[in-house]
């Protein structure tokens, strides 16, 4: 996993492409695609003291100079993940009235949490986890299925790299659920951490602050070129609770909410929001970040005493902007100050409703064949598997 998913592996593929070009075998070149997470971009922007859009253009320029063909943003895939989570929740909530499903629904975008749930809580906790894929894996479906069709390549003729704030994303990409048996290829071939991209910049002797800019790529005919960079759908880690709560309040209780009032419980990483109707709580959701808060929620579920309908769970305290793969602070720089500047940059872009993104609507119609199609299920949802024993590495981590 370490050699398969490292900057050396990306360099090897780029080198092979150059060799094929030079030896007249250009038709065998792999199309190299990089999909960058907004948290990694904020980490790079903080390190090199750039604005988000400046950083996006310069990192695109850097990868293109190395021979990468397309650089995308996983915010686009996150829109699909948020929309699917909203619909999945409303369906579960309605079905729960007839006990056909499991509530609370637990968010699934954090592979650190998913590994822990599969390896320590077995099949008991898995039915509660949302089946919606994470933004990284939805981006995998988009690149290997949608983009391959657009550029007339087979999925295994594309080498897809993501840039993420943590190492657990490498584990997620290597799950058998995200392997295409027909074409013998993964939806995401290589995951680099933000820190590993910084190492590439150092190796190339480039400071992002002085590097060349490049125009941003778009998945389809120029639509949404900068939409995914200049707008995102909120939340330092997921933004899942915010969207699911507002959507459910509207769909189930005909209430339109502009802002949510969070109540802090044990600490800043454990907060809840409640909607009342006729003096009674009808919708209750929580954010639980970090191991202690996750354990608290899991124990409540096991005892049948969990008061929540939905919980946004993230393994890292303070969420993904604080992930273990983010760029470390400089010598003498305070880690809190660096995190504050990453959070500030991450939040410096507009928040939008993912349903208003024009290209999302087009892709639901033209790529997936509608919201409830079999293809939507295949491309945007997954499943989980109970594992009997924890590996030593995970036992140490948790
Ligand atoms: Fe990775 Fe941490 Fe984010 Fe989970 S919360 S996806 S472990 S960075």
Please identify, by atom number, the ligand 1 atom nearest to the C-alpha of residue 314. 5
Contact 370, 376 (CB under 8 A): yes
Contact 350, 217 (CB under 8 A): no
pLDDT value of position 231: 52
**CA–CA gap between residue 67 and residue 18 (Å, rounded):** 8
pLDDT tens digit sequence for 115-160: 999 998 878 899 999 999 999 999 999 999 999 999 999 999 999 9
Which of 269, 288, 314 has the most ligand 1 atoms within 8 A of CB, as the residue to mutate?
314
Contact 171, 115 (CB under 8 A): yes
pLDDT value of position 121: 83
How many Å from the N-terminal Cα to the C-terminal Cα in the chain? 20
ipTM of the complex: 0.99
**CA–CA gap between residue 323 and residue 326 (Å, rounded):** 6
Is the bond preceding residue 104 a cis peptide, omega within 30 degrees? Answer: yes
Question: Is the per-residue pLDDT at 398 higher than 50?
Answer: no
Instruction: Name the residue with higher pLDDT: 348 or 195.
Output: 195
**CA–CA gap between residue 33 and residue 342 (Å, rounded):** 25
pLDDT value of position 228: 52
Q: What is the reported pTM?
A: 0.93
Instruction: Name the residue with higher pLDDT: 358 or 108.
Output: 108
pLDDT value of position 220: 63
**CA–CA gap between residue 339 and residue 345 (Å, rounded):** 10
**CA–CA gap between residue 285 and residue 346 (Å, rounded):** 24
Residue 156 CB contacts under 8 Å (≥ 6 apart), including other chains: 180, 183, 184, 185
Let me know if 263 is exposed, middle or buried by CB neighbors in 10 A (0-12, 13-18, 19+).
exposed
Average pLDDT over the chain, rounded to whole? Answer: 90
For 385: left if phi > 0, alpha if psi spans -120 to 50, otherwise beta; the answer is beta
How wide is the angle at C-alpha 345 spanned by C-alphas 343 and 348, nearest 5°?
Answer: 110
Nearest of 217, 196, 198, 216 to residue 208 by alpha carbon = 198
Question: Is the per-residue pLDDT at 342 higher than 90?
Answer: yes
Residues with CB under 6 A from ligand 1: 110-112, 165-166, 168, 237, 314-316, 319-320, 323
Say which range, 231-235, 325-329, 353-357, 387-391, has the weakest mean pLDDT: 231-235
pLDDT tens digit sequence for 49-66: 999 999 999 999 999 999
| Sign of the four-CA dihedral 235, 237, 240, 241 | negative
Question: Is the per-residue pLDDT at 390 higher than 50?
Answer: no
pLDDT value of position 224: 47
Looking at the chain, the whole-number percentage of residues with pLDDT higher than 90 is 79
pLDDT tens digit sequence for 196-223: 999 999 999 999 998 899 988 887 654 4
**CA–CA gap between residue 206 and residue 280 (Å, rounded):** 58
Cα of 125 from ligand 1 centre, angstroms: 19
pLDDT value of position 122: 76
Contact 183, 177 (CB under 8 A): no
pLDDT value of position 266: 82
Residue nearest atom 7 of ligand 1, based on CA coordinates? 112
Nearest of 394, 391, 396, 384 to residue 118 by alpha carbon = 384
**CA–CA gap between residue 137 and residue 249 (Å, rounded):** 28
Residue 167 tokens, joined: 């190492």
pLDDT value of position 384: 94
**CA–CA gap between residue 176 and residue 336 (Å, rounded):** 37
Cα of 323 from ligand 1 centre, angstroms: 5
Residue nearest atom 6 of ligand 1, based on CA coordinates? 110
Find how far residue 351's CA is from the centre of its chain. 16
**CA–CA gap between residue 165 and residue 191 (Å, rounded):** 10
pLDDT value of position 34: 97
């Amino acid at each position: 996993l370490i050699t398969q998913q490292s900057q050396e592996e990306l360099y090897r593929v780029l080198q092979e492409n150059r060799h094929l070009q030079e030896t007249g075998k250009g038709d065998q070149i792999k199309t190299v695609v990089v999909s960058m997470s907004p948290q990694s971009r904020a980490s790079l922007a903080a390190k090199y003291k750039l604005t988000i859009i400046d950083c996006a253009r310069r990192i695109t320029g850097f990868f293109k100079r190395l021979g990468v063909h397309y650089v995308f943003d996983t915010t686009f895939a996150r829109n699909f993940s948020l929309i699917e989570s909203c619909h999945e929740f409303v369906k579960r909530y309605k079905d729960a009235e007839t006990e056909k499903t499991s509530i609370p629904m637990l968010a699934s975008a954090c592979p650190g949490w998913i590994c822990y749930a599969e390896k320590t809580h077995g099949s008991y906790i898995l039915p509660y986890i949302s089946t919606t894929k994470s933004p990284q894996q939805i981006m995998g479906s988009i690149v290997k299925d949608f983009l391959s069709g657009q550029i007339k390549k087979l999925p295994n003729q594309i080498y897809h790299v993501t840039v993420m704030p943590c190492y657990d994303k490498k584990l997620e990409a290597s799950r058998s659920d995200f392997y295409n048996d027909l074409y013998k290829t993964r939806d995401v071939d290589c995951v680099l951490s933000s820190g590993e991209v910084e190492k590439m910049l150092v190796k190339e002797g480039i400071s992002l602050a002085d590097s060349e800019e490049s125009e941003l790529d778009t998945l389809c005919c120029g639509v949404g070129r900068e939409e995914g960079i200049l707008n995102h759908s909120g939340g330092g880690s997921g933004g899942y609770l915010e969207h699911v709560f507002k959507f459910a309040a509207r769909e189930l209780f005909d209430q339109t909410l502009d802002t949510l009032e969070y109540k802090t419980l044990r600490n800043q990483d454990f907060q809840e929001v409640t909607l009342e109707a006729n003096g009674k709580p009808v919708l209750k959701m929580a954010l639980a970040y970090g191991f202690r808060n996750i354990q608290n929620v899991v124990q409540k579920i096991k005892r049948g005493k969990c008061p929540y309908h939905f919980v946004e769970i993230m393994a890292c305290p303070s969420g993904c902007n604080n992930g273990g793969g983010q760029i470390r602070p400089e010598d003498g720089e305070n880690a809190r100050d660096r995190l504050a500047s990453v959070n500030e940059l991450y939040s410096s872009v507009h928040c939008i409703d993912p349903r208003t993104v024009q290209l999302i609507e087009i892709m639901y119609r033209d790529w997936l064949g509608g919201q409830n199609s079999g293809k939507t299920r295949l491309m945007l949802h997954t499943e989980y598997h109970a594992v009997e024993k924890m590996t030593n590495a995970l036992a140490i981590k948790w």
